[in-house]
Amino acid sequence: MPAIAAVRAAVRGRHRPLVLIDGPSGSGKSTLADALLARWPGAPPSLVRLDDVYPGWHGLDRASRMLADSLVAPWRRGVAARSPRWDWGERAAASPQSVRPGSALLIEGCGAFAVADEATPATRIWVEAADGIRRRRALERDGGAYDAYWEIWDLQWRAYVRRCGPRPLADVLLRVSHLD
């Protein structure tokens, strides 16, 4: 898979790399993260999925700020870190995920680039797809549970993109051009 090779080349030689996978909903970020995890050389990285962190359907920006403080900052100092988690069924905070110090860290999800400032050494991967493809993939993936929230989420996503301009920060750009 050329995408995996590109990411592996981008992190080669980095001690404890931080890999951020960002892009719009339904573009293939989770699929890429799973493939990276399966093919990671050596000890696998800790994986944090923003879908497990967002505090509800209005939480895109808040999740990024929470991870910057509770996860990325301590992880960079080489100490144990914790990722907040959200229980979607209960609509409440869940027990945090512990992240071991010393491991590589992979964070994937909408808004992932915002968990670290531009000066933070990280490999930034942008995954994108046409709006029609990504909408169909996202809505089919969640079996109707996401349908009522698509517009709410997409408005947050577009506001994040306007405010932060994340795409030009990418070290690796992947464009999905078909449905899986």
| pLDDT one-digit tens code per residue, 109-159 | 999 999 998 889 999 999 998 888 888 887 787 777 778 888 999 999 999
pTM of the model: 0.93
Does residue 179 register a pLDDT over 70? no
Distance of CA 143 to the CA centre of its chain: 21
Segment 9-38, tens digit of pLDDT: 888 888 889 999 999 998 999 999 999 999
The DSSP symbol for 52 reads G
* Nearest to 106, CA basis, from 46, 24, 39: 46
Check pLDDT > 50 for residue 45. yes
Mapped onto helix, strand or coil, the DSSP state of residue 47 is: strand
